[in-house]
Amino acid sequence: MIDAKLYHRMKTKTIKAKPEMVGEKITVSGWVRTHRAQKTFSFVELNDGSEVSNLQIIIENKTPGYESLIEKLQTGAAISVTGTITESPGKGQSVEIQAERFEIIGEAPADYILQKKRHSFEFLRTIAHLRPRTNTFGAVARVRSQMAYATHKFFQEKDFSYVQTPIITASDCEGAGEMFSVTTLNKENMPKQKDGKIDYSKDFFEKEAFLTVSGQLNGEAYAQALTDIYTFGPTFRAENSNTSRHLAEFWMIEPEMAFADLNDNMNLAEDYLKYLVNHALTKCRQDIEFFNKFIDKELIERLTHVVETPCTRLSYTDAIEILNRSGKKFEFQVSWGTDLQSEHERFLCEEHFKGPVILYNYPKTIKPFYMRANDDEKTVAAMDLLVPGIGELIGGSQREERLDILLSNMDMHNLDKETYDWYVDLRKYGSTPHAGFGLGFERLVQYVTGMENIRDVSAFPRYPKHAKF
Ligand code: 4AD
Ligand code: MG
């Protein structure tokens, strides 16, 4: 029988943060990281996920149950310990727990895979359900949680309203056709129209539906009523990109502001990024130090630099010129009008400017229908924020608020008028200059942790051929 009182537990982080607690009797619960048995006592390193470092527990052999329980104190086992907080004479920790009693809550037999040895990140991806118990993935999860908290804090402090936009949609915001279908039709026997195409009028929504690639269009509707809004939700892209920066399912934060232009948008993006990085450096200090030590030795230096330095801003046209003059051999050569590849984006922020860069005014032909045409008739008021190590972290624009131009853009992109009639209404009634952007949440977490692969900053990553867990 488990003593119910055992569950009145303290997080180790709290104990360590309060030196005045020395002498207090408490109960801690967590998972055994290591156990070393000495002659008359045992050392247990306990971790409850509240911080990266362990809590050391001393269990003397006269503790009740010692003989029978000690062999079950194996790596991975869940235990509860009641004891006294004492100052620790050993190196590397300030306090430890002198156990008075302990309980095995959940055993971990010897075939438990996360023994005290290093596993590759590739291998850990195959045990995504267990990897949060490692130092690295525990730290990623805590930082990710803090970045979500800081996101809400940042926008709420600026009086932006949080809008939850739909996940199922009929529109393809980015126009890239990378959408996952949502259907209840019988896949073995799809209803067909006369021309042989699938008859979606028989489907659940009576039209073709998808998982959304972006909440922006719906976000715009709310910005045209509440002035400043943001979304924060899952988005989906069926692009077959096997890169360290693409997922099929990722989270995006999309602010949208009415009565705002591209400049306001760039300012907001820069403020938001700096706010997040500063929050990571101050509120996640122990985890960031861990990443700096084990994952990326320049992390803290780089992040500190970002907070202190203004982002470089330059036009797409100037960027093309820099790339062409660089003398560097790229896999894809660029010229005015071509889309930038990740190698170009990385060259600009990693080698040329050595810090975050905002590019703006991109060629109209490579951007979606909703972006606002500039007076030169060749470019649109788009912006991308690029950071070293990642490339594009943020993409956004001022939106086309003029009805006639929007309609002709929609024709140019062959958009179905009926699907987007509601979006067009926003230009008919009380249209305003407005702007917004999307920040890829996983790329942000990569950026502040130094983790190289996006598959290691999403708890259960979805990418081609991978939807287990
Ligand atoms: O540049 P994107 O495609 O922009 C939009 O979706 C706009 N509707 C946003 C807006 O203006 N409201 O995507 C925005 C960001 C990218 O900069 C990138 O960080 C991230 O989303 N992103 C991805 N992250 C992970 N995996 C993918 N497959 C991603 N595709 C885009
Ligand atoms: Mg983009």
pLDDT tens digit sequence for 409-453? 999 999 999 999 999 999 999 999 999 999 999 999 999 999 999
Distance 123 CA to ligand 1 centre (A): 28
- CA-nearest of 21, 17, 58 to 41 is 58
Ligand 1 contact, 395 CB (< 6 A) = yes
Q: Where are the alpha helices (DSSP H) in 173-284?
A: 216-226, 262-283
Please give the mean pLDDT across all residues of the chain.
95
Q: Distance between CA 81 and CA 1 in Å, rounded?
A: 15
Which ligand has the nearest atom to the CA of 176?
Answer: 1
Q: Give the mutation target among 212, 214, 446 for probing the ligand 1 site: most ligand atoms within 8 A of CB.
A: 214
Average pLDDT over residues 137-150: 98
Which ligand has the nearest atom to the CA of 438?
Answer: 1
The pTM is what? 0.96
Q: Where are the alpha helices (DSSP H) in 359-460?
A: 403-412, 421-428, 441-449
Ligand 1 contact, 442 CB (< 6 A) = yes
Q: In what order do the strands lie in the sheet with 357-363?
A: 161-162, 228-236, 249-258, 434-440, 391-398, 379-387, 357-363, 312-315
Asked whether the predicted pLDDT for residue 6 surpasses 80, the reply is: no
Return the pLDDT at 455.
98
Q: Distance between CA 265 and CA 253 in Å, rounded?
A: 14
Return the pLDDT at 4.
52
Closest C-alpha residue for ligand 1 atom 14: 438
Ligand 1 contact, 367 CB (< 6 A) = no
Q: Distance between CA 170 and CA 192 in Å, rounded?
A: 19
Closest C-alpha residue for ligand 1 atom 26: 246
Strand-strand pairing, 168-169 and 312-315: unpaired
Q: Distance between CA 341 and CA 361 in Å, rounded?
A: 16
Asked whether the predicted pLDDT for residue 3 surpasses 60, the reply is: no
> In a 3-state reduction of DSSP, which class is residue 227?
coil
Distance 374 CA to ligand 2 centre (A): 18
Q: Distance between CA 326 and CA 321 in Å, rounded?
A: 8
Asked whether the predicted pLDDT for residue 1 surpasses 50, the reply is: no
- Length of the chain (residues): 469
Cβ(137)–Cβ(147) under 8 Å?
no
Distance 435 CA to ligand 1 centre (A): 15
> In a 3-state reduction of DSSP, which class is residue 329?
coil
Q: Distance between CA 112 and CA 430 in Å, rounded?
A: 62
Q: In what order do the strands lie in the sheet with 209-211?
A: 168-169, 209-211, 181-182
Closest C-alpha residue for ligand 1 atom 4: 395
Average pLDDT over residues 245-272: 98
Q: Distance between CA 443 and CA 178 in Å, rounded?
A: 19
Q: Distance between CA 135 and CA 382 in Å, rounded?
A: 40
Q: Give the mutation target among 178, 252, 439 for probing the ligand 1 site: most ligand atoms within 8 A of CB.
A: 252
Ligand 1 contact, 345 CB (< 6 A) = no
Return the pLDDT at 92.
66
Q: Distance between CA 202 and CA 195 in Å, rounded?
A: 15
**Per DSSP, what are the bridge partners of residue 386?**
357, 392
Distance 219 CA to ligand 2 centre (A): 17
Ligand 1 contact, 150 CB (< 6 A) = no
Distance 382 CA to ligand 2 centre (A): 9
**Atom of ligand 1 at shortest range from CA of 246:** 26
Q: Which pair of structure tokens corresponds to residue 175? A: 């126009």
pLDDT digits (tens, 9 = 90+) for 230-254: 999 999 999 888 899 999 999 999 9
Closest C-alpha residue for ligand 1 atom 24: 440
Closest C-alpha residue for ligand 1 atom 31: 440
Cβ(212)–Cβ(172) under 8 Å?
no
Crossing angle between the packed helical segments 135-157 and 285-294, to the nearest 10 degrees:
130
Asked whether the predicted pLDDT for residue 19 surpasses 90, the reply is: no
- Residue 379 backbone phi and psi in degrees, to 5: -120, 160
Q: Distance between CA 77 and CA 142 in Å, rounded?
A: 22
Q: Distance between CA 322 and CA 406 in Å, rounded?
A: 32
Q: Distance between CA 259 and CA 227 in Å, rounded?
A: 7
Q: Distance between CA 285 and CA 291 in Å, rounded?
A: 10
Return the pLDDT at 117.
85
Cβ(387)–Cβ(349) under 8 Å?
yes
Closest C-alpha residue for ligand 1 atom 6: 214
Cβ(254)–Cβ(234) under 8 Å?
no
Q: Distance between CA 48 and CA 15 in Å, rounded?
A: 12
Q: Give the mutation target among 144, 155, 213, 250 for probing the ligand 1 site: most ligand atoms within 8 A of CB.
A: 250
Radius of gyration of the chain from its Cα atoms, rounded to whole angstroms? 27
Distance 383 CA to ligand 2 centre (A): 9
Ligand 1 contact, 368 CB (< 6 A) = no
Distance 282 CA to ligand 1 centre (A): 27
- Classify the phi-psi angles of 337: left when phi > 0, otherwise alpha if psi is within -120 to 50, otherwise beta: left
Which ligand has the nearest atom to the CA of 250?
Answer: 1
- Residue 310 backbone phi and psi in degrees, to 5: -65, 145
Average pLDDT over residues 46-63: 95
Ligand 1 contact, 237 CB (< 6 A) = yes
- Residue 361 backbone phi and psi in degrees, to 5: 60, 70
